């Protein structure tokens, strides 16, 4: 059976993480040829590549904070696959720092969070725009977080970075229209392998504070990305929540 993304090419940055790998698999199962974008996780990228259904999938290294690296990636995509229709900006970084502990929120961490989470979105979009402009159905999906609106998360710089991502989504949607749609997918707490390794009582408390009574699954975030790409064809500049209603609590 034909998939909704047959003939399309997608790039997922940060593809080896818990959410990124789920997005990669979902887009590949929907028929897309997927570029697994990674920075240092070469082995994980190769392992992910081996799990994908048949297609012209590739794993390619690129640092989203390095514009020259991104330009090289764009060149490889054009050479190997000839087109790009979907860009998923999923690369991100953070570190747990209590919000009141401003001394522990050192300058290096702030700079790193902003460079990857915010500048990386702009840089990847800029590098891939010439390819996306040639598509007849180009979409950029930025992976955000409810921390953008709740101001609760791993640290205050991370929360600010995700608020910036949602703002970028709106600005880019206006700037790149009508050729390229841009949306944010905004998860709540997602039960990735990293989160599963945290204190069980804390995880249970987070689930109780979520109206739907549980944490999200990476596959549910991936389903929202697929919907934004394949189904919501008249949607741009929007923030799509995948959070179990957590901001309502």
Q: Which residue has the tokens 């930025």?
A: 142
Closest by CA to 56, choosing from 87, 90, 86, 82, is 82
Q: Evaluate whether 148 touches 163 at the Cβ level (below 8 Å).
A: yes
Place of tokens 């979105």: 121
For the question of residue 158 being annotated catalytic, the response is yes
Query: Residue 169: helix, strand or coil by DSSP?
Result: helix
DSSP string, 25-91: HHHHHTT-EEEEEESS-HHHHHHHHHHSPSS--EEEE--TT-HHHHHHHHHHHHHHTS---EEEE--
CA 221/CA 20 separation, integer angstroms: 9
Among residues 30, 52, 158, 183, which one is catalytic? 158
> Which residues participate in catalysis according to the annotation?
158
């Amino acid at each position: 059976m034909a998939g909704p993304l047959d003939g399309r090419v997608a790039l997922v940055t940060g593809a080896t993480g818990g959410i990124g790998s789920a997005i990669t698999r979902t887009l590949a199962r929907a028929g897309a040829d997927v570029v697994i974008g990674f920075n240092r996780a070469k082995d994980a990228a190769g392992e992910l590549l081996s799990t994908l259904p048949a297609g012209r999938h590739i794993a390619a290294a690129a640092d989203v904070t390095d514009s020259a690296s991104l330009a090289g990636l764009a060149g490889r995509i054009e050479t190997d696959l000839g087109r790009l229709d979907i860009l998923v900006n999923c690369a991100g970084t953070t570190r747990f720092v209590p919000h009141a502990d401003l001394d522990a929120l050192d300058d290096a961490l702030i700079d790193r969070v902003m460079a990857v989470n915010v500048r990386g979105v702009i840089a990847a979009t800029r590098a891939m725009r010439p390819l996306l402009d040639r598509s007849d159905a180009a979409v950029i999906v930025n992976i955000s977080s409810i921390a953008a609106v709740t101001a609760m998360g791993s640290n205050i710089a991370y929360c600010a970075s995700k608020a910036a991502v949602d703002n970028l989504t709106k600005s880019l949607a206006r700037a790149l229209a009508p050729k390229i749609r841009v949306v944010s997918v905004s998860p709540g707490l997602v039960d990735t392998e990293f989160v599963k390794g945290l204190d069980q009582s804390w995880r249970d408390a987070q689930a109780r504070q979520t109206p739907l009574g549980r944490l999200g699954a990476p596959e549910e975030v991936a389903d929202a990305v697929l919907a934004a790409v394949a189904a919501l064809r008249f949607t741009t500049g929007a923030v799509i929540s995948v959070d179990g209603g957590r901001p309502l609590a």
